[in-house]
Structure 1
Amino acid sequence: MSQKPIPVIAIHGGAGTILRSAMNAELEQRYNQALSGILQAGAALLAAGAPALEAVTEAVRLLEECPLFNAGKGAVYTEAGGHELDACVMDGATLAAGAVAGVTRVRNPVLAARVVMQHSGHVLMIGPAAQDYVAQHGIELVDPNWFDTPERLAQLQRAQQAAGGAMLDHDGATSLAKDAAEEAAPLDPDRKFGTVGAVALDANGKLAAATSTGGMTNKRVGRVGDTPVVGAGCYANDRVAVSCTGSGEMFIRAVAAYDVSALMEYAGLSLEEATRRVVQDKLMRIDGRGGLIAVDAQGGVALSFNTEGMYRGYARVGQAPVFAIYGDDGDAGDGAAS
């Protein structure tokens, strides 16, 4: 009889041009504290016997509540000066999934995605109708201004003054930090992908994934990326759980999250090999920048990205969390941690 793997959770807070030169010590500490605290909270749930779906939902909810990341509070602005939020959750044991897209008043889109999964009989609901539905099931709605932060507004103004194109959140904040020493994400806001996510394996060997985002700075109203698309930005089955962050259109075209599972199942690749194939080969062929986190049924963890950095980490029950920001951080760098 094989021994059950130790429960584990992994999280990400976006990928992009994350530069040490643009990160001051105080801001770096804030990111590290956020990553560490959320990993510890998720691991504590798993240690208490919580299912993987509960652990990833709570981890992403905490990421949504943290204005350092582009999901929930601190979400980036659309071209019209508002916020449109997307999220997805998936239970690997049952293949049940729920997602919301283009919501503007849901405080925690990941909780809304759970409601869609558990109560609606649907997989994806969008816009005001989704908000009304999840509110009927107790999900908190807030004034759209609740998501505002001065740092994100500065990113929008910079994007609109520059070229008028959409910016990927973590890429643009590096320039802001350099230019004005503002308390913005130390990513170049022109080349940062500000999705958050979590994947977990619980004590019963079950897997789950959750992903949430505010999208891209100055994005076209109505644009939806990979985050709420099952198989693109979020996927879980009984083999692997995956959460992605990156140039959403490319991750959709590559069906990136599901492709990790397909390479493991049909090509016999290991978790590390499958994630590297998707992130470093298939996505790069179509200029797909970003990364993903994944956990397999044996408790293996992959944290793979093709950008200069990715906010990331993992925690096994009973062990100290491992977390990192930059591409040259070895212990939680690109690749897998067994």
Structure 2
Amino acid sequence: MGTSHSVMLVEDEFPNKYSKRKLYSCGFWQYNGLGDTKNTKEFTEIPFFFEHDDILEISVGYEHNLILTSNGKLFGFGNTQFGRLADTSTSNHLIPFQIEIPGFSIYDEDVFKCHIHCGASNSFLFLVYFNNFEKDLIHLFRRKEFCDISFKTKNGEVIEAHQLILQNRLNQNQIEKLRKIISNKSIKESNQIFEMIYSNRIINTKLYSEIKEIIKEEKLSESMRRLFEDETTKDFIIERNGKSIKFHKLILIMRSELYRGMFLLVTDDKSNKVTDYSEISDEAFQIFEYWIYSNQIKKEIQLTKEIIYEIEKSVDYFQLNPIKPNLLDFALQEFKKQTKNQN
């Protein structure tokens, strides 16, 4: 509710199970953009001419309104005074218009969740970004080259995932329950369910209520550390200095551009090993090994300037995904802490 108007968000159910959210309003027309040129004493539908932009969220201010759509577009209507709708025009908007945000995209693939809020004479846009693991896991899910397990939606579409990730997050019975849940969902809902399982984030509250019983209540970092310790499922070997170090191929693909590119280019090569030609010490390599699974550096490792330099080389050599806090940033912070404690 605003000062002189009210807005209602309604979801209509059609026989084909396709839902479309609609907006209705009533009250004083002049500032609030009710889609009419007179006051309305009954709820009246607000014209919204963007058929493929289903409404996710609506926020109502004193005399203005914001709409956030499912494909990441922002719309506004009402009083434009004080720039509250990010619009320079002096006339009020009776119907919703798209608000352009220069150099910025709400639908950036790194954005996990977006919220809008109207104040009295201002507007706010809140963004929550994926962290390292969440972003990398979401990217892995969206890339289908290395998927090895499939599910069918209610319309018969096939959605693919990664068995290693699912088995790390769910047990076999839970995977079968997931298969049954997916069989009753649309492709859009199914994608959201898998992204919640992969990232451990509540992307859709309604869908999460259906799958929360089958998801382990644990931090994503704990799940990844468990994978690091599981030698039985590691299926790839990096040989260096006469030693063989085991990894999960999927984790290398997920965390390192070097190995993702290597595996994409050599699709016919069924070899499960490779030689590491990087000029870094075993200690620096151990830091890389533990980092890609945990986003951490083992506490017992004493960092030095020489190791920091080698870490910088390893970040470049293995082409670790450049999202902060990255390995080098984290190592520098830990080095400063260790140096301070020693002094």
Q: TM-score, normalised by structure 1?
A: 0.24
- Work out which of the two has the higher radius of gyration on C-alpha atoms and give 1 or 2: 2
Higher relative contact order (CA 8 A, sep 6+): 1
Q: TM-score, normalised by structure 2?
A: 0.24
